[in-house]
Structures are given as structure tokens and as C-alpha cells.
Amino acid sequence: MEDTSIPGITSIQDNINPTVQSPFVPYNISLYHTRYSFLDTDEYINFIKNSVSRFRRSRFYKNYKSYLMSLGMYRSQLSANISSDMATIEMHHNILTIFDIAVILTEHELNQVGMISSFDLVNLMKKVHRENKVQVVMLTLTEHQEFHNNTGMFIHPDMCFGNWIEFVKEYSDGITIDIANKIIKYINRAEELGCTSDNNLLKLRDELVDWSKNNEYASMR
């Protein structure tokens, strides 16, 4: 334990998880979050929201959108006649929202490492985007707003960019039951509509249930 230059505050220089504490507050502040600190649901939700907000404000996020547009993705995937010089084109995370991605990465690290910081999560989000393992699609601002306001809208995986199946497999230890059910419903809808060029979707559907059940068990240990 090491005393700091700030009165009433003590830092615990743990090699694994440094902590700051004070006799004037009923809680400690640690660099890393664990399953124990995330027992507080509000703490978990705030951690996810804060990390996503930091990621969205990062220079990388803006540069990634520019990178996609340089590949020719400067038109709406729903209205091909509308390009970025005619309307605002936004990047939409399809199937898995940016919050779903953050939860998967967080759960994966908790199950594999046992702890995670917001710095870790933001870097992981940059990594999976840089590797193009996140499914995205370009929409106009109006279409993007309509999608989030209309839960019945569906964008087929063949219309999107990004190897999201590789993401799900690589971070399978972070798949929760809710997220597994969400992906399965999406796959079933894509199968109903047909014309999918990705035969791995059906195989993935069968694996998702097992992954999510195993992760649920692991999180309770």
C-alpha cells in the first residue's frame, strides 16, 4: 500500500489491478473491472456506454468510415442512386449493434482473462473494425433513423460488408444467450428470404446455442 500526495486518498499498487481508495467514500476505484465489480448492473451498463462513446468519438472511427467510402461504399445500400454528394451517408452496424459488439468483447475478456478496462475495450473495438470483422452497411441519415425506429426493417447479409462470422467465432466466449437468440433470428430470416451466398450461416446457427450456454455457465462460476 502506498500513500499518495493527495490527502485522504490511498493507492494500492497491485501488479494486476491497481486500486485507489479513500475512507471518505464507500467504494474503491480500480483500473480493471471484474465479474465482481460488474455485479452492479448499472456499473456494467455505464462501462459499455462510456466505452462505446469513446470509440465513436475516436479519430479511428471517422477514419474507418472514410476508408470504407474509399472502397466505393459511398452510396446507400438501400437506395443506390443516392451518394454521399447528395445526402449524408452513415455507417450502420447490422445484425450486431455497436453495443452488442462491446458486450461480446467484454464478456470474452471476462471469461478468458478475468478483467477488462475501458482502454482495453476501445482498443479491441478498433481491432475488430480494422480487421473488417464487423458487419456494416451504408445508409442515408433518414434510412438509418428509420431502421432504428422500425424494428421490422431487415437488411440481408449479402448487402453488407465485413466478415462478422469470423468475429463471432473468434470471440465465441463472449456470446450471451440474448445475443445468440438475436443472431439465430436474423439467420432464420435471411434463410427465409433466400439468396444468401454464405453457407456458413446455417452451421453457425447450430454452434451459437452451445457457445451461449457454456458462457452462461462460466459467468456463474
Mean pLDDT for each 10-residue chunk of the chain (221 residues)?
Answer: 52 59 58 85 95 96 96 92 93 95 97 93 98 96 88 85 94 94 90 68 81 75 59
- Nearest residue to 175 via CA among 135, 205, 130: 205
Residue 105 in grid coordinates = 468483447
- What's residue 54's pLDDT? 97
Query: What is the dihedral angle through the alpha carbons of 123, 129, 133, 139, rounded to the nearest 10 degrees?
Result: 140
The CA distance from 125 to 131, in Å, is 10
Give residue 209's pLDDT: 81
Residue 147 contacts residue 94 (beta carbons within 8 Å) = no
Cβ-based neighbours of 179, under 8 Å, separated by 6 or more: 96, 100, 103, 104, 212
pLDDT at 214: 80
The confidence score (pLDDT) of residue 213 equals 80
Scan for cell 471517422, then name that residue. Answer: 62
Q: State the pLDDT at residue 1.
A: 45
Per residue in 66-106, pLDDT (tens digit) is 999 999 999 999 998 999 999 999 999 999 999 999 999 99
The per-residue pLDDT for 20 is 53
Helix 59-70 / helix 41-57 crossing angle, nearest 10 deg: 60
